[in-house]
Amino acid sequence: MNASGLIYLTANVLLSLAGTLALKWRATAHSDVASDKGRLAYLASMFLDPWVILSLGASVLAMLAWMSALERVELSRAFAFTALIYVLVPVSSWLLFSERITLLQVLGITLIVGGIVIAELGRG
């Protein structure tokens, strides 16, 4: 994998992670709107939240990074790399939001990391 492909893949994963975490943070902050005023008011408050708008921007940038990565990296290799999001989201949610990670989730995360390593070693 060339350096620019790795940079674009890393940008894709990190921007996806940032957008997901920002949405979770703001969804939690706006949860009182949902319970007090209903689903439509909740969606409106989320849509108008600057952090939510930034997270949507992060998603767009992540997609641009993905398209740029695909130009430089084989799809099977690029797609395996994006599996890191399934590792980073639970770990980040545990660190930032005090969400619980079960032993089975730790096992799953370990299997994902192992799978990525095995897939890369198999490429020779």
Given this model, what pLDDT does residue 41 score? Answer: 82
Tokens for 25, please give them. Answer: 């943070």
Residue 34's pLDDT is: 62
Residue among 114, 111, 110, 89 at smallest CA distance from 99: 89
pLDDT score of 6: 92
Q: Which residue has the tokens 């770990």?
A: 91
CA distance 7 to 13: 10
Count of domains observed in the chain? 1
* Domain encompassing residue 67: 3-121
What averages of pLDDT result for each successive group of 10 residues across the chain (124 residues)? 91 97 92 75 88 96 96 90 93 95 95 89 76
